[in-house]
Amino acid sequence: MSAEARVVDNAAASRYEILLDGVVAGFAQYRLRDGSMVLPHTEIRDEFEGRGLGSKLVGAALDGARAAGLRVVPLCPFVACYIQRHPEYRDLVDDDYRDLVDAAG
């Protein structure tokens, strides 16, 4: 399957979704709070695992936060690990939650 993955912000559902051929393959939930985007949960459906879709999804969500001028609260462990691996996003992390991305591991 060589379908092109596309990420959309489904603001009505408060989540970014990654679509393959129009099918929701996964999502990253968010809450907007006091100038921040809180990211509590990211999920890729089992049948779409192992394709790098989670990384594409989280990268797009973080790009969206940057474009909107929002700080990020990475409560989801996958999001925190993504930011650890991609330091170009560390500046987005709310200072009160920086320990989530600065921890070793």
80 lies in some domain:
yes
- pLDDT > 90? residue 102: no
Identify the domain containing residue 19 by its residue range: 5-98
* Length of the chain, in residues: 105
- pLDDT > 70? residue 105: no
> What confidence tens digit (pLDDT) does each residue in 2-34 have?
578 999 999 999 999 999 988 999 999 999 999
Q: What is the DSSP letter of 35?
A: T
103 lies in some domain:
no
Q: What is the pLDDT of residue 4?
A: 86
Query: Based on the number of CB atoms within 10 Å of its own CB, is 39 exposed (0-12), middle (13-18) or buried (19 or more)?
Result: buried
pTM above 0.85, yes or no: yes
Q: What is the pLDDT of residue 72?
A: 98
Q: Which residue has the higher pLDDT, 21 or 91?
A: 91
Orientation of helix 77-85 relative to helix 53-67, angle to 10°: 80
Sign of CA dihedral 85, 87, 89, 91: positive
105 lies in some domain:
no
- Domain with 19 in it: what CATH number? 3.40.630.30
104 lies in some domain:
no
The number of distinct structural domains making up the chain is: 1
> What's the average model confidence in pLDDT over 25-54?
96
